[in-house]
Chain A
Amino acid sequence: MSNLAIMKPEYAAYVEALSEALARDDEEAFFSALDHLVHLRTPDFVSEVRKLTGDLQTALDRFRIESRLVDIAENEIPDVRDRLEKVLQMTDAAAHRTLDLVEQSGPLAERTAKEAAALADWWTEFRRRLADESDTEALSRMEEFLSAARNDCERVRRNLAEVLLTQGYQDLTGQIIRGVMKLVSELESTLAELTQLSGEDLAPKAVRDAIAGRDPSKKPAVASDQKDVDELLSGLGR
């Protein structure tokens, strides 16, 4: 049987009372009947709200129990941001180091090319004078070498210019990484809001660390540089 069918006799009585009161212009009777009708509906409404609240609480409880999410919000996301920051720093340092070397090497190649060109002119004249009386093979090999040195240096300079431009990757990948970092930060604050919404005062980080067997004062499990590796090994008597 439908809800309406069950409620029908009760509702019908009040509806009738309402319509009679209306016909009589009896204000008091009208509002009294209306109040009764509203009252009939209210328990349903209250129980609906109660059910919704319960559902919400269950969802939040489940979220709270999902400590994995809390861990992601509090530990892994900041960690991801740190790692991306590290990528930015490393690529920046590597690109600058490359640029240092390009800037140092360019003038060297240029100087060698210039010197080879100057020597080649001088050598041609020198060779012409000695042509009859000297080892012509050595003379022509020297000439070839000077000419090749000039061309090779020019090629080195062009390659260095290409290496220079290629370092632009640091800017382009850096912009992508910054975009991802921004997204990660947004995700972090959304998760933080959700964990706050779940109400419960979540166990402090130190407590959860202890439960998970982590000691925050201890060094991270990954050695970060050669100094760490050396320290670690010497600590082990190596």
Chain B
Amino acid sequence: MNKDLKFLVVDDFSTMRRIIKNLLHDLGYKNVVEADDGNTALPLLKAGDIDFLITDWNMPGMPGLELLKAVRSDPKLAKLPVLMLTAEAKRDQIIEAAQAGVNGYVIKPFTAETLKEKLDKILATAGK
């Protein structure tokens, strides 16, 4: 696995961003930037050097699902790996995210193993 990958972690709770950042560090990914909703995340993504997006769903401003749709509709970002990390666990929502093109979906609260497993799977599929 390429440990130089640049991650963008989007969550409105700064504690959760910090937790995910720490877990990524433990997995060897040191290059992590943060945003607190879709509106602040999108300019960072459009700047072009993000390799992996981890986003919450329920956020004031632009929620994660809209961010995902915006990413998929931008030709430059369309293939960006996106992992959703959210407390939204309703079947309909998971299906909606899948239809919008999410690569992985982790329900909060989650374990470090689950996060690693999903990351590895997505990266293996993306060939990174």
A interface residues (Cβ-Cβ under 8 A, vs B): 92, 95-96, 99, 102-103, 161, 164-165, 167-172, 174-175
Tell whether, in the assembled complex, residue A175 and residue B58 are in contact, meaning their CB atoms are under 8 Å apart.
yes
Tell whether, in the assembled complex, residue A99 and residue B13 are in contact, meaning their CB atoms are under 8 Å apart.
no
List A contacts of B108 (CB < 8 A). 168, 171-172
Tell whether, in the assembled complex, residue A102 and residue B22 are in contact, meaning their CB atoms are under 8 Å apart.
yes
State whether A92 and B22 are in contact (beta carbons under 8 Å apart), knowing that A161-B112, A171-B108 are contacts in the complex. Answer: no
B interface residues (Cβ-Cβ under 8 A, vs A): 11, 13-16, 18-19, 22-23, 26, 58, 87, 108-112
List B contacts of A170 (CB < 8 A). 13, 15-16
Tell whether, in the assembled complex, residue A161 and residue B13 are in contact, meaning their CB atoms are under 8 Å apart.
no
Which residue in A99, A161, A174, A175 is a CB contact (below 8 Å) of B18?
A99
Q: Which residue on A lies nearest to B16, using beta carbons?
A: A171
Tell whether, in the assembled complex, residue A171 and residue B112 are in contact, meaning their CB atoms are under 8 Å apart.
no
State whether A96 and B112 are in contact (beta carbons under 8 Å apart), knowing that A161-B26, A172-B87, A175-B58 are contacts in the complex. Answer: no
State whether A165 and B15 are in contact (beta carbons under 8 Å apart), knowing that A99-B22, A102-B22, A175-B58 are contacts in the complex. Answer: no
Which residue in B13, B19, B111 is a CB contact (below 8 Å) of A174?
B13
Known: A103-B22, A170-B16. 12 other contacts (CB 8 A): A96-B14, A96-B15, A99-B18, A167-B18, A168-B15, A168-B109, A168-B110, A170-B15, A171-B11, A172-B87, A172-B108, A172-B109
List B contacts of A96 (CB < 8 A). 14-15, 18
Tell whether, in the assembled complex, residue A92 and residue B15 are in contact, meaning their CB atoms are under 8 Å apart.
yes
List A contacts of B109 (CB < 8 A). 165, 168-169, 172
List A contacts of B16 (CB < 8 A). 168, 170-171
Q: What is the bound-complex CA distance between A171 and B13, given in angstroms?
A: 6
Tell whether, in the assembled complex, residue A92 and residue B14 are in contact, meaning their CB atoms are under 8 Å apart.
yes
Q: What is the bound-complex CA distance between A172 and B16, given in angstroms?
A: 9
List B contacts of A168 (CB < 8 A). 15-16, 19, 108-110
Tell whether, in the assembled complex, residue A175 and residue B87 are in contact, meaning their CB atoms are under 8 Å apart.
yes
List A contacts of B26 (CB < 8 A). 161
State whether A164 and B22 are in contact (beta carbons under 8 Å apart), knowing that A171-B108, A172-B108 are contacts in the complex. Answer: yes
Q: Which residue on A lies nearest to B11, using beta carbons?
A: A171
Q: What is the bound-complex CA distance between A56 and B13, given in angstroms?
A: 47
Q: Which residue on A lies nearest to B60, using beta carbons?
A: A178
Chain A min CB distance to B26 (Å): 7
24 example contacts (A-B, Cβ-Cβ < 8 A) are as follows A92-B13, A95-B15, A96-B14, A96-B15, A99-B19, A103-B22, A161-B26, A164-B19, A164-B23, A165-B19, A165-B23, A165-B109, A165-B112, A168-B19, A169-B109, A170-B15, A170-B16, A171-B13, A171-B87, A171-B108, A172-B87, A172-B108, A172-B109, A175-B87
